[in-house]
A = this chain, B = another copy of it.
Amino acid sequence: MYIHQVAAYLPAQVITNEHFTRLNGLSHEWIIERTGIRERRKAAVGENTNTMAVEATERVLADAPLFPAAAVDLIVGATYTPHDTIYTLAHAVQRAIGVTDIPVVSISSACSSLLNAIEIVEGYFAMGKASRALVVVSEHNTAYNNEQDTVAGHLWGDGAAALLISKERLSPSDLLVRDLITAGAGGIGKADEAVTLTPVAKGIIMPYGKDVFIHACQYMARVTQQILERNHLTTDELNWLIPHQANLRITRNVLQTLGLPEERAVSNIDRLGNTGCAGAAIALSEQLEQIQAGERVVVTVFGGGYSYGAMLLER
């Protein structure tokens, strides 16, 4: 299985920390120190998870002459901030690209969904029911976020990314998906209440951020070690780490546990905030051209609820 192309869509509006200073009195320095976030994007009126998913899809297809839309035989969408749970983002993407009679589904495993989506693709490839998949991750956090919330209101950003994945290699520059692990950790700690998004009640809240922080650090470091070890690799042989883009302190903690220098991590948290399950995919799209032949990448994620995963890529 190969990642052939990745592209992102980011809404135009930039929300700086000063916005939250005016709203809540949180200083730029305080937000930076606690999260590493300088600014984040906000979807415009009329934009939502479905429209951003379609934008990202159009961009990735425009960058992939070897992967025409008509060849797509599986669409897996992911979001925990749905615009529509019936006409889901995957269905909106299907309508936009005009393919018919192929499996289409949207999923949520919170901020981990990117890897769950790719693992579902791996399953369709293994069954022989698909060979060219489109994975689209899209989050509209600001639709569910209360920006007045001084605990977590300043964390969230909007954005989307799309990935073209094929069973066979299409181009020498394709990224081999060498291994992939996903898992739920719904029984761990305060997974049931630490970070939740109840659409009809409270929207997205994070009453137990410390519990999330501790488990995110532990699980992303552990599953990265696990995927390296079972592929007989050391951290010295890992060129890039793309963690879930939740908080720069979590990224630094994971790097420290793994003994990796900071320059090996790919990060967009300072510019985009926490863009949910889209964050790591946006980071991959931004890093794509810098990954040299022979280099290895681990994408590792942790999601509320809880869930975690790691994917080992090789160019």
Contact = CB atoms under 8 A, between A and B. Distances in A.
Interface of A: 75, 79-88, 90-95, 98-110, 113, 116, 119-120, 122-124, 126-127, 129, 143-144, 182-188, 191-193, 195-200, 204, 303-307
Contact of A126 (B107, B123, B193, B198): B123
B116 A103 contact: yes
Nearest to A124: B123
Nearest to A117: B105
A91 B198 contact: no
Contacts of A82: 85, 108, 199
A26 B99 CA distance: 40
Nearest to A183: B101
B107 A199 contact: no
Contacts of A120: 105, 120, 123
Given A90-B109, A103-B116, A199-B200, 9 more contacts: A80-B86, A86-B110, A86-B196, A87-B193, A87-B196, A90-B184, A91-B109, A105-B116, A143-B200
A199 B85 contact: yes
Central interface residue in A81, A103, A107, A186, by most chain B CB within 10 Å? A186
Copies of the polypeptide in the assembly: 2
Contacts of A191: 87, 91, 95
A119 B103 contact: yes
Given A123-B122, A191-B95, A199-B200, A184 B102 contact: yes
Contact of A305 (B86, B126, B303, B307): B86
Central interface residue in A95, A100, A196, A305, by most chain B CB within 10 Å? A305
Given A91-B306, A126-B127, A305-B88, A100 B199 contact: no
A79 B197 CA distance: 15
A127 B122 contact: yes
Contacts of A86: 80, 108, 110, 195-197, 204, 303-305
A85 B80 contact: yes
Nearest to A80: B85
A108 B109 contact: no
Contacts of A198: 83-84
Contacts of A80: 85-86
Central interface residue in A93, A107, A110, by most chain B CB within 10 Å? A107
B187 A95 contact: yes
A196 B84 contact: yes
A86 to B, nearest CB: 4
Contact of A144 (B94, B104, B200): B200
A143 B198 CA distance: 11
A69 to B, nearest CB: 12
